[in-house]
Structure 1
Amino acid sequence: MTATANEMRAAFPGGPVPAQGGTAAYELGGHALLLAVSGVGLVNTALMAGWLLGRADVAGAVNLGIAGGYDLQRTPLLRACFAEGEVWPEYGLLGADGLADARGIGFAQGRVRGEQVWDRLELSPREDAEAMNLGLGADWTPVTGVTVSGVSGTPERAALLREARGGGMESMEGFGLAYAAALAGKPFLEVRTISNLAGSRGAGDWDLKGALRALAGATATLFAAQSGACPATSNLT
């Protein structure tokens, strides 16, 4: 799943590009894939994820795309990153400092493996990659993903999310698909390339075209033929 058609086109050069809300079958490296473009944001992602992960022929979920990086020393422009955890920092009781207390309204979002989910999901990318027979790049950076409804528009906002939530990369979709996959009991991976410094509008802190090109390389590594690759009857969305 990607949020946009541009990300799908970049991730799978020459492959089909489904319309938003649609899917297309594709095979890469022996993996039977179901490509899906969700549309931008948590609502679009959750709607699409609920439908797709309810299918009996979907074995797992991979969220691909580009992201803002909170620290370009750790995650330089174009670097491929994968999520070790996902945070939704806007869930809960919003305070004057711009942060939400996830327990402030007294309602957890739900339970995953018997544990309450508030604003954070811990992920198992290496184990889930192995379960889906996918390959993580040796030079990829593990980070905490921060999923927002409005992207950071100032350095101050980006710094707040980096420091208070341990953020490594910022997107608008990751938590939604991660949570849906966890509820469905299916493996999940989120892999993104860094397109910009979160919170900066300076041209020198952006390389959108380069990040899209880098996404193709990351996808090729992820779905390279592995021993015992998923059979054609088992789709990864």
Structure 2
Amino acid sequence: MVHRILIVTAVAAEADSVSAGLGPGDPGRLPLPGGCTLRRHRDRVDVLVGGVGPAAVAAATGTALTHGALTGDPYGLVVSAGIAGGFQPAAPVGSVVVSSAIVAADLGAETPDGYLPVEDLGFGRSAHAVPESVTAGITAALAPGCVLAPVLTVSTVTGTARRAAELVERHPTAAAEAMEGFGVAEAAVAHGVPVVEIRAVSNAVGPRDRAAWRIGEALGALRHTFELLGSTVFVES
């Protein structure tokens, strides 16, 4: 469907799952300025470990996109991928969420009258809608095992019931939270490239309970997701 794809994860374990899903064999390696390395699959799908948090991953994504543009090999799609917390009951552990929007959930200001997103302060943006033209093929390939909903980007992972309730009140249709999607989206939009976020759920958003996390299960779901996409959506057209 698209000729070049950049998939960005936060950490190596997520990239390993994505790469494993894309197919057997050792991908090629392409070093980038700043110390990042692209894993190149089938000469058209690149996987990048971009770092934790929106700032680090925005810088890494921007570097990869700039390199592609300057070498005459630009990307047609950017995917922010990894594991995430899921809002219950919309996104149970082990499920996969595809973003209908990528939202910076805490980019704004706290006031005596409540939270104000950055748009209400008169500058910036805190959300990128993902068009159906981007999500339709992905959700069709993953159906019925995925949820199409907004994915929140936070700088501090939710660890209390109170914080979870605040996020649900502000973003009642959100299905997942992670730490990188909005940074990836900002870089992609700056380069005029479509972007989508895909997250496998490892835990419920709410009180921090590491014993209840299912990271291995989520990484397995992430791998299976990219097995499906690698054989359907991410193929030569």
Structure 2 length-normalised TM: 0.80
Query: For 1:17 and 1:90, how far apart are their aligned partners in 2?
Result: 37
Tell me the residue number matched to 2:3. none
Tell me the residue number matched to 1:214. 221
Deviation at 1:220, TM superposition (A): 0.8
**Secondary structure, aligned partner of 2:128:** strand
Tell me the residue number matched to 1:94. 110
Query: For 1:97 and 1:66, how far apart are their aligned partners in 2?
Result: 34
Query: For 1:230 and 1:98, how far apart are their aligned partners in 2?
Result: 49
Deviation at 1:96, TM superposition (A): 5.1
Question: Is there any run of 5+ residues in structure 2 with no aligned partner, and where?
Answer: 1-7
Query: For 1:174 and 1:95, how far apart are their aligned partners in 2?
Result: 26
Q: What RMSD in Å do the two structures reach over aligned CA positions? A: 2.7
Percent identity of equivalent pairs? 29
**Secondary structure, aligned partner of 2:51:** coil
The size of the alignment, in residue pairs, is 215
One-letter code aligned to 1:214: A
Deviation at 1:182, TM superposition (A): 2.2
1:195 aligns with 2:202: yes
Given candidates 6, 9, 12, the residue that maps to 1:5 is 12
Q: Is the 8 A contact 1:192 1:215 kept in 2?
A: yes
**1:123-171 alpha-carbon deviations (Å, 9 max, x no partner):** 11x412579x996411210111110111111111012112212321000
Q: Is the 8 A contact 1:134 1:224 kept in 2?
A: no
Query: For 1:202 and 1:141, how far apart are their aligned partners in 2?
Result: 24
For the structure 1 residues 153 and 130, does the alpha-carbon distance in structure 2 shift closer, same or farther, using more than 3 Å as the test? closer
Query: For 1:6 and 1:17, how far apart are their aligned partners in 2?
Result: 18
Given candidates 97, 101, 109, the residue that maps to 1:81 is 97
**1:156-198 alpha-carbon deviations (Å, 9 max, x no partner):** 1012112212321000001111222223221222111100011
Deviation at 1:215, TM superposition (A): 0.7
Higher helix proportion (structure 1 or 2): 2
Tell me the residue number matched to 2:143. 138
Tell me the residue number matched to 1:62. 79
**1:199-231 alpha-carbon deviations (Å, 9 max, x no partner):** 2223564211110111110111112145x9337
Tell me the residue number matched to 1:158. 164
Question: Is there any run of 5+ residues in structure 1 with no aligned partner, and where?
Answer: 110-117, 232-237
1:178 aligns with 2:194: no
1:47 aligns with 2:59: yes
Given candidates 122, 128, 133, the residue that maps to 2:129 is 122
